[in-house]
Amino acid sequence: MHTVTSPDIHRAGFACFVGRPNVGKSTLMNALVGSKVAITSSKPQTTRRVIRGIVHRPDAQLVIVDTPGLHRPRTLLGERLDSLVLSTLTEVDAIGFCVPANEPIGKGDRFIADKLAAVKKTPVIAVVTKCDLASKEQIAEQLLAVSQVGEFADIVPVSAQAGEQLDVLAGVLIGHMPESPPLYEDGRLTDEPEQILVGELIREAALEGVRDELPHSIAVVVDEMMPRDGRDDLLDIYAHLFVERPSQKAIVIGHKGERLREVGTKARKQIEGLLGTRVFLDLRISVAKDWQRDPKQLRRLGFYD
């Protein structure tokens, strides 16, 4: 069970969370890191890139790699996402397998548990998420059910929303890290370029409240990000939203451009919080036809082979 860390040993390494879409992986990472890093949205499969958050402790540094949800791919983009996930699994020191406390274990969870069983050398910790949405009886039943879908080094119930058991989970993950000096200088929460994080925040704002057919049809490219001439307190950001069809463009823009303005305002506030400076955000929207299935468009939008 729990690996005990000696106080005079420093540990550092990589951990990742996997699970079917919408089981609370990004929310959990953000709660552990204490800063909004990966995009979190109520729509499944919205985390697109492998984003690292870093948990600093006096005796340890835990680098968390966030992955998109594993799923059976239906498009070229889906295949790229899944190859990203599987390559991540072989490069980390521990894997957190996330299953929500308030939903029965289903085919998707078993599909991922089977994939994880093939990753022989990496310890897998089952993380029962969203415990704030379940009764004590439900949580107990889920812990038992989870124990029956695979062999896990530990099983930890948590609530990222309520902040419960996060220290326990961090301690368990750190216990599986190798002895090592810190891998990143103190204070750095992510090694993602700021432009990618800004693009993710814009994408999250664009996803909120739109119809179900949109999630995977929105991509964001940040064209320019630079301080305004003669001002050191204002950052100009020019970004482009891409959708697949004119009908989707109309949904994002909204009546007389109202929705796009709301997206811009929400994203700008989030970006200002992330970067700690005032921001001018210029948002454009274009149609890039069927970009999810077009290798050239995928490369242009930042998804590489």
Indicate whether 210 and 289 sit together in one domain: yes
Scan for tokens 């993380």, then name that residue. Answer: 127
- Among 175, 210, 245, where does a domain finish? 175
Asked if residue 258 and residue 157 are part of one domain, the reply reads no
Annotated binding residues, written as ranges, equal: 19-26, 66-70, 129-132
Contact criterion met (CB below 8 Å) for 89 and 15? no
The answer to whether residues 92 and 236 belong to one domain is no
Asked whether residue 138 falls in the same domain as residue 242, the answer is no
User: Residue 140 is part of which domain span?
Assistant: 11-175
Q: Provide the CATH number for the domain around residue 124.
A: 3.40.50.300
pLDDT of residue 48: 43
The pLDDT value recorded for residue 44 is 47
Domain assignment of residue 1, yes or no: no
Co-location of 166 and 110 in the same domain: yes
Same domain, 152 and 25: yes
- Asked if residue 219 and residue 259 are part of one domain, the reply reads yes
Is residue 210 a part of any domain in this protein? yes
Residue 181 is assigned to a structural domain of this protein: no
Last residue of a domain, one of 114, 143, 175: 175
What CATH number is associated with residue 215? 3.30.300.20
How many domains is the chain partitioned into structurally?
Answer: 2
Average pLDDT, consecutive stretches of 10 residues, N- to C-terminus, the chain (305 residues)? 62 87 82 64 47 78 70 58 66 90 92 84 94 95 96 95 93 93 64 73 81 66 82 86 85 88 90 82 84 66 52
pTM assigned to the model: 0.58
- Largest CA-CA distance found in the chain, in angstroms, rounded: 62
- C-alpha distances out from residue 151 to 7, 23, 84, 124, 177, Å: 29, 20, 24, 8, 19
Residue 153 sits in the same domain as residue 268: no
pLDDT given for residue 147 in this prediction: 96
Task: Name the binding residues for GTP.
Answer: 19-26, 66-70, 129-132
Residue 189 lies inside a defined structural domain of this protein: no
What length does the chain have?
305
Q: Does residue 127 fall inside a structural domain?
A: yes
